[in-house]
Amino acid sequence: MKREKSSAKKGSARNQEVFRKRLLAELKTHQDRVERARRELPVDCDPDDDAGVASRSAYREVTMSKLERDLQTIIEIERALRRLDAGEYATCVACQLPIADARLNALPWTRTCIQCAGRGSNFAGPFQLTPNPAH
């Protein structure tokens, strides 16, 4: 019995190291994307015509949206690294139950298990399309 506990502990430590490396790699990727987006962000200048204004405006909005998403992901990754350091990684912050490895593999910075994540969604239950009688 003691051996199983010890080997499980070693496996757990190994898994946490794997997740730490993955989180750090993801952090670097998102930081690079933020830096690239900041460099590519168009500066305001006098446009040549209305089409140029519209094009620059649309490009700026898309770039800002990507930038915001990457910044939020960086925050989530940093929180996950803090949870890892505190020994709280892979534990759902809502229900305190373990988060499945499959979920962590898909989204290593997740804070919640799939059940708790689904509770916050409008589509947590079965989604059903109803036919429109007018068609």
Q: What percentage of the chain carries pLDDT values higher than 70? A: 73
Assign 76 a pLDDT band (cuts: 50, 70, 90).
very high
Q: How confident is the model at residue 128, as a pLDDT? A: 45
pTM above 0.75, yes or no: no
Q: How confident is the model at residue 37, as a pLDDT? A: 86
Residue-wise pLDDT tens digits, 34-75: 999 888 776 666 666 777 777 777 888 888 889 999 999 999
DSSP per-residue codes, 10-36: HHHHHHHHHHHHHHHHHHHHHHHHHHH
Q: Tokens 């996950």 appear where?
A: 80
Backbone angles phi, psi at 10, to 5 degrees: -65, -45
63: Cβ contacts below 8 Å, ≥ 6 apart: 37, 40, 41, 42
Query: Could you tell me if residue 25 is left (phi over 0), alpha (psi between -120 and 50 degrees) or otherwise beta?
Result: alpha
Closest CA to 22 of 108, 98, 111: 108
Across the chain, mean pLDDT equals 79
Closest CA to 37 of 64, 58, 73, 75: 64
Cα–Cα dist 121/56, whole Å: 34
Closest CA to 37 of 71, 74, 72, 79: 71
